[in-house]
Every structure is written in C-alpha cells, then in structure tokens.
Chain A
C-alpha cells in the first residue's frame, strides 16, 4: 500500500452542496443541505472510502467532487488547482483524468451500443486522431485489463451478466487513462460471489495502473476491505475520519459504533459474542436537520451541549478525526 510517502492528489475543503426547495418556513426558503461542510484529502494511489446510509450525501459529495454537480461552496483541489470554481471549458480538459463508475451498470450503459462501440466512444473522446487499428488494439487492451473475453466486443449490454456489465463499466472508465475514479456503490448490485471478483479486479487495476479511488458504499465490510482510509457520513456531515484498520477496534463516534454493530458478520463465534447497539428511530429528513449535532436525537450518549452546538471534526487520536462532544 502506498500511503505515507505518496502525495496528496485531491483535497476537499469545506465542500457544501445545498439544494433549494420551494418550501418556506417563516418566510425563509428551506434548503436541503445534502453535503454540509466536509473536508478530507485523498493521497495518490490510495483508496478513500465514503460510507453512510442512504440519503447521507455520499453520492452528492462524489458528484460535486467531479463537478457533475456544482458545489455551493468549498474547494476541491486536484493537482493544485481548484476544480470547484473552474470554468466549464477548463474542466473539460481534465475531466478525462476524473472518472465515475456507477452502481447499476445496466442503466449506465447505452442498450443500443455494442461493447466495442461503447469503448470506442470513450477512447476517441479526446479528439485526437485514432486509426481503426489503434482503436481495435486499445479496445482489446481494455477488455484484457478487466478480464473480459475478447469475443465479448460484439455483445450488447443485455447479453451480459451483471458482473460482466460492471467490468465493462470499469473498462469504459479506464479508456481515458484516468488518475482518479469515483466508484459509486460499484458492487452493491452484485451477488456475493461476483462481488468478490470485482473487488479483486479493482485492487489489481489499482496496483497495475496506479489508480486512486474514492469508493462510495453503504457496506462497511466492503469499504473496510478495499479502502485505506474511511470517512463516515451522516446527514451531510463527515462524523468520523480514520484509517480503515481502526474501524473495527477503535472507532469512536457513537454513530460509527452503532453502524458497526448493526452489520452482521459471517463469523459464527464472533457474532455470538458481539454486543448489539440498536439505534432508536430513523435518519431524519435532510429538510429538517436537527439543531446541534445532527446525530443527537438518536445518540445514546447525547447531552445538553449536543442539542445546542454542532461538534467540529477534530483529531481525537493520532490521525483519527471525530466530530463528537463526548470524546
């Protein structure tokens, strides 16, 4: 694993994405704070994991980082340049280096294009001249990278299995020689046995091509396995940021602990001995984020200050950041 020595590739600072709504409360328009002031850095060659339940803003964060969505505020510094405020024309020049892989490969692939044509489109989008044989060679190269049979190049997405389609989605992202790939729930739609194949493929490609991933998922075990650092999100906020090896034994935020205990493991004996923390209620609507700490209404340890003041993310142990008043 490349961690300590490598350089920062992406730095996210105070990123905010707000969506205005038509609703008004006391004359003030209600704003959905999908991502509310998050900061983290991603080093070159590492995998950064973003975990959270649905509606926590993890996908919005991923899209804002790539400028698929325009952030309301904050900086996204990629290789020393702030993408968040860059004009669209300039974005286009670096977009090839920043790619996105989606959860459902079926809806992110054109059903009327063959594998070859899907990959060709991604290859020629750099507007350089490519001869037919160059493209053919590159398509075959990409298929080999994602371990798809070369005979697949004539197929259409509906003729492929879920795992094969996800491999194609990865191949398309690789076509532009990206540096950073935001993977949004790339394995959640797959069966367990196929999921492991794709996770291994992600890891192999990373070491072969020196890729950096931002891996967005709701499955803690998957993220723990693939990521070297993890950010836990809750209602638009990053509530804990840590090395992934600390997740199991040394997580500190009450939400992370509850999330961990809610995930059942396949280890029979361990499962028998685990303590379960059952949270009350459900995630509140992002339209009505509670005052103070966003987690306070469900937190078993909430005190008066939690209901008043929103905790900042601070270093609670070496290289481990938690946003909680009680630590």
Chain B
C-alpha cells in the first residue's frame, strides 16, 4: 500500500477563551491528522476541548471571548488559519469541502424554513446552478441518505421530521455538496440506539462510496470501537493518547484511557463485577497545573509526574500508537 494522503492535518493548535479573570485553555497544543477515506474519532468527556478543537478548524469559535492563538490547519495544501473567518476562501470551504454535523439537529436547522429551502440554499451558495437544479440535487441527496419520499420531505419543516430524519437531512447537505470531510460532533448522542445505528451505518456508507473522510467527535467509546479506524483521546485540552482502534481498546497505554475502558459497563459480564470509576472530576481548564493534568486522578502517578512538566506525546510501539505519559510501564492491575 502506498502512503495514504493526509486530507487534514492540524498542528499545534491552541485556542483559549478569555474571561475577565483568566485564560481558559480549551485547546492546548493539539495535533492530529486524517487521511483520505479514513474514519477517525476524537474521544473525551465533556469539557475536554474536543468540540472547540473542531470549531477552531472551521473557524467558528466566537471571538471574543475565544481566540485561536496559534498552530496550523492544513487542508488540501493550504493553511486555513491564514484566512480570516469571514473570508471568501473560508466560506468556500466551510459547509462545502468540510461539512459539519452537530449533536442536536433541531438547533442546526432553521425552524421557520422548509428543509428543502435550507438544503438548496447551501447548494446554491457553493455550486453554480439554477434554483430548479439545486432542488433536484437536494431531492437526490435526501434519497441518498435513505429518506423515503424525498420530494415531499423537501417541503417539510424541521419540526415535522423525527430526530433521526433531521440528522439525515443534515448529512444530505454534506452529500449534495460532495464534501471531502465530514466532521460529526456527537452525531448520534441525542438519538435512540436503533436510530443511532442507522445514522452511523449511513455515514459509513457515505465514506465507503463517496470519497469522503469522517471525523467523529464523541464521548461514546463503543461507537468508536465499531466505526473508527484511529482514535485520539483528549483530556483537559490535550491529546493524551492516539493510535489505531485496536491499539487503544486492546492495549491502552495512558492511565486515563485505561480508566475510561474500565468504567464502562459491558453488555456481557458476570453479576457482582464492580465498575472501576476514575476517582475525582476533570480539572478546571482555567487553572491547569504545570505538570500532567491527569496527575490528581491518576492511580499510578509518582512523585516524578508532579515534578516534571506536562508530558509530550511519544511513541509507544514505534508505529501509530502514542501516549502523553511519563510512566514507562503501568502495572497490569495496580490500584
């Protein structure tokens, strides 16, 4: 296999929010990439900066209070951070080349316009075509995402659709614009399990057939194990571990990832088996320590972890598996 092409590469991205008192470091030196045709997941708990990272890539961070302080976002050979948020170049990419799907589809669709008018608006913005052509592209896209009777559905308002259907309509916009990359921020969290499976299978199908890459941002490790090829785990604004899905789920190397895996209830498990939670709560991003931010909750932490500055990502196996942890080895069952 030849070296796969990197579609998006983010280097040393830093985004902070400034309050009257202090600086909240939401994204703290984050680097990642996604190859063409790949499905990558960014996993983390609420407040870890996973969504702000994606908003920064799309330059959708509200300024002020937010500010992208530095880094590079390389997409198709260009650094997107060179463009202003409201520039023509950025607008040509946002929504077309890179599409974004949010958790709550009701809030990302305008309630007073029909779904059809919202889809055609995006199509006409990015493609040279007449209203009628745009409408036809829209109908086809709705059909492609598995909405029955797309002609009639185009005339529906968002409230006339179910949650799953609304999410499909948003995916249809990405399909209609032939997006190269779909960033899905918690795409199925608001949906029921059976609908969640349908939406994920649809996204998988789109990646397989349409030369698209997919970046899933989620807190759901299960979702990731089923669909993603590579995973980045975020904690307190940093990536603490990355690697293939197999690496992370079968040989987790960072204590945080290990903790997450142990705290999820399994479908098949003997009665009486206890969950092992991660003690404590995530840190306040405004008051991050100089040392490893997981130190206060880490069951394996040593004096050394507190003395040294926050650890950098380093390779675990010389290949794709990286971790940001000072510890060389972690005892198998040492708690």
Contacts and interface: CB of A to CB of B under 8 A. Distances in A.
Interface of A: 1, 53-54, 161, 163-164, 191-197, 199-200, 203, 218-222, 224-226, 228, 244-245, 247-249, 258-271, 276, 278-279, 282-283
Interface stretch (B75-83, B104-112, B269-277): B269-277
Contacts, number: 131
B225 A279 contact: no
B250 A269 contact: yes
Contact of A260 (B223, B245, B267): B267
A31 B73 CA distance: 55
Contacts of B264: 192, 196, 221, 266
A268 B292 CA distance: 28
B220 to A, nearest CB: 8
A54 B190 CA distance: 10
Given A225-B275, A249-B268, A268 B164 contact: no
A255 B250 CA distance: 30
Interface in B262-317: 262-269, 271-272, 274-279, 281-282
B194 A259 contact: yes
A8 B241 CA distance: 49
B260 interface: yes
Contact of B271 (A221, A245, A283): A245
B211 interface: no
A269 B251 CA distance: 12
Contact of B162 (A225, A278, A282): A282
Interface in B193-215: 193-198, 201
Which of A193, A197, A199, A279 has most B Cβ within 10 Å?
Answer: A193
Contacts of B263: 192-193, 195-196
A53 B194 CA distance: 8
Contact of A264 (B46, B223, B259): B223
B277 A196 contact: yes
A218 to B, nearest CB: 7
B246 interface: yes
B254 to A, nearest CB: 13
Nearest to A243: B271
Contacts of A195: 263, 277
Given A194-B281, A259-B193, A1 B272 contact: yes
Contacts of A262: 193-194, 196-197
28 contacts: A53-B195, A54-B192, A192-B263, A193-B260, A193-B278, A194-B281, A195-B277, A196-B276, A199-B275, A220-B193, A221-B222, A221-B264, A221-B267, A247-B267, A259-B193, A261-B197, A262-B196, A263-B222, A264-B224, A264-B226, A264-B227, A265-B222, A265-B267, A270-B268, A271-B226, A278-B198, A282-B195, A283-B194
